[in-house]
Amino acid sequence: MFYKTITTLFLSLAATAGVSSLIAFACGSRPGADAPTATPGTTVPIAETIKAENAFPKLSFSQPVEFTHAGDGSNRVFVVEQTGVIRVFDNNAQTASAGTYLDIKKQVASGGEMGLLGLAFHPKFEQNGYLFVNYTKDNPRETVISRFKATSAGTSTIDPATETVLFKFRQPYSNHNGGKILFGPDGFLYIATGDGGSGGDPRNNGQNSDSYLGKVLRVDVDASDKGNYGIPKDNPFVSAGSGKLPEIYAYGLRNPWRISFDEQGRLWAGDVGQNKIEEIDIIQKGGNYGWRLREGRSNFNSDGSKPDMIDPIWQYTHDNGDVSITGGAVYRGPANASLKGKYIYADYASGRVWALTADNTPTGGKATNQLLISRAGSISAFGEDAKNELYLCNHSEGKILRLSSN
Ligand SMILES: [Ca+2]
């Protein structure tokens, strides 16, 4: 069934976007992934050996797409399975079982790029028991941003009946649903959305400020001016009127499947490209990241207008079998001193993992890139534990990996 979904997706993409190769699908597919087709630029191997090792060798997961913790001092970690299940277990390499924390398979439509795609615990979870998810559903096909509530912070399961929907919006196609949600240092919830799918963004959602699609959104989950959430007062379109959505934080994105904050509060995004270019962006409030007028630093479907657009800090082409970026995080864990301060990311299809070095300015300056690992598997996501150690989700093998240097 999974294969069929992929094949169907490919056919629809091929029909609408002129996709020219089957390479990516031979490698499988994950929710943020996309069709095939890199200038590695100045990428160089790192001086020491970095390996990806199985962090929890006694555990296996079904299509993991998220790894996180609750910030509650419990030493628990959580893995999101795409089909609609959140697993919970003690953060110990010898842990032999992972319980079911939340099961919402009934309302989640999964497969291909759909599913339960994101999880974020409220910064005050220990007090209020709130956790937030991002999933796709059918009939009609929509993205849903919901809150669930733990009866107490330490409870081992969440009742699905505690769901409160914050908001939802239509998904015109099954692909490019974004997925990541996370709280920023400002306490607001950030939501990465895709352009709605097909190929080439046929409705130009990325550039349209009346669409939730192709954006980073930012909302206040502790306010109620929009019902079950509110709008941060300094969101870019709060006072713009004319139908522009006040939830929008940044736009012009294609499928920023994974986004993350670094220690200095910069928001990083890996934006999956169309047929040629994968990119890394540092997201600024109100920024236009180009899509569909631009793919990476190249024109894509330019309509002659020249709005202010922000180029990626880094991009790579599809020339070497890298075809679908998985955005990572700036490393701040205790285990690998040589990686400190570098943005670690991967390509889902090739399995390559890289470290990008930027400066500390808001735009990151002129970055340099290092190849860390040649084949780490189908990495769908990166996540951190309470000590800020970084983990990688291997989607097809159902493993959680961590980096080690020797
Ligand atoms: Ca862009």
Q: CB atoms < 10 A from the CB of 346, how many?
A: 30
| Residue 340 predicted with pLDDT over 70 | yes
Distance 178 CA to ligand 1 centre (A): 15
Give percent of the chain above pLDDT 90: 84
The pLDDT of residue 329 is: 98
Distance 204 CA to ligand 1 centre (A): 13
Residues 75 and 386: beta-carbon distance below 8 Å: yes
Structural domain boundaries enclosing 80: 2-405
Distances in Å between the Cα of 3 and the Cα atoms of 6, 117, 274, 279 are 5, 19, 21, 27
Number of domains into which the chain is organized:
1
Question: Which CATH number is 10's domain given?
Answer: 2.120.10.30
Q: How far apart are CA 116 and CA 144, in angstroms?
A: 10
| Residue 140 predicted with pLDDT over 50 | yes
Distance 302 CA to ligand 1 centre (A): 13
Distance 300 CA to ligand 1 centre (A): 10
Distance 296 CA to ligand 1 centre (A): 5
Distance 295 CA to ligand 1 centre (A): 6
Identify residue 160 by its one-letter amino acid code. Answer: P
Distance 15 CA to ligand 1 centre (A): 24
Distance 309 CA to ligand 1 centre (A): 8
Q: Sign (positive/negative) of CA torsion 306, 294, 281, 354?
A: negative
The pLDDT of residue 397 is: 98
The pLDDT of residue 47 is: 58
Distance 280 CA to ligand 1 centre (A): 8
CB under 8 Å to 261, separation ≥6 — which residues?
A: 182, 184, 185, 267, 268
Distance 271 CA to ligand 1 centre (A): 7
| Residue 254 predicted with pLDDT over 80 | yes
| Residue 276 predicted with pLDDT over 50 | yes
Residue range 10-32, pLDDT digits in tens: 333 333 333 333 233 233 466 76
Distance 289 CA to ligand 1 centre (A): 4
The pLDDT of residue 138 is: 97
Q: How far apart are CA 21 and CA 75, in angstroms?
A: 44
Of 229, 110, 87, the closest CA to residue 164 belongs to 229
> Residue range 177-195: average pLDDT?
98
The pLDDT of residue 393 is: 98
> Residue range 338-352: average pLDDT?
97
The pLDDT of residue 18 is: 32
Write out the two tokens for 386. 């309470």
Write out the two tokens for 41. 């630029």
Distance 219 CA to ligand 1 centre (A): 23
Distance 172 CA to ligand 1 centre (A): 21
> Residue range 264-292: average pLDDT?
97
Instruction: State the average pLDDT for the chain.
Output: 90
The pLDDT of residue 304 is: 78
Distance 274 CA to ligand 1 centre (A): 11
Distance 384 CA to ligand 1 centre (A): 26
Distance 297 CA to ligand 1 centre (A): 7
Residues 78 and 86: beta-carbon distance below 8 Å: yes
Write out the two tokens for 301. 């479907």
Q: How far apart are CA 274 and CA 200, in angstroms?
A: 7
SS (H, E, C) the chain: CHHHHHHHHHHHHHHHHCCCCCHHHHCCCCCCCCCCCCCCCCCEECCCCEEEEECCCCCCCCCEEEEECCCCCCCEEEEEECCCEEEEEECCCCCCCCEEEEECCCCCCCECCECEEEEEECCCHHHHCEEEEEEEECCCCEEEEEEEECCCCCCCCCCHHHCEEEEEEECCCCCCCCCCEEECCCCCEEEECCCCCCCCCCCCHHHCCCCCCCEEEEEECCCCCCCCCECCCCCCCCCCCCCCCCCEEEECCCCCCEEEECCCCCEEEEECCCCCEEEEEEECCCCECCCCCEECCEECCCCCCCCCCCCCCEEEECCCCCCCEEEEEECCCCCCHHHCCCEEEEECCCCCEEEEECCCCCCCCCCEEEEEECCCCCEEEEEECCCCCEEEEECCCCEEEEEEEC
Q: Among 83-87, 130-134, 242-246, 272-276, which is the least confidently predicted range?
A: 242-246
Q: How far apart are CA 278 and CA 245, in angstroms?
A: 27
- pTM of the shown model: 0.91
Distance 39 CA to ligand 1 centre (A): 15
The pLDDT of residue 307 is: 83
| Residue 88 predicted with pLDDT over 80 | yes
Buried b / exposed e along 355-382 (16+ C-beta atoms within 10 A) = bbebeeeeebeebebbebbeebbbbbbb
Bridge partners of 100?
A: 87
Left, alpha or beta for 276 (phi > 0: left; psi -120 to 50: alpha)?
alpha
306 pLDDT band (50/70/90 cuts)? confident
241 pLDDT band (50/70/90 cuts)? low
Distance 253 CA to ligand 1 centre (A): 6
Distance 120 CA to ligand 1 centre (A): 25
Q: How far apart are CA 17 and CA 24, in angstroms?
A: 15
Distance 207 CA to ligand 1 centre (A): 11
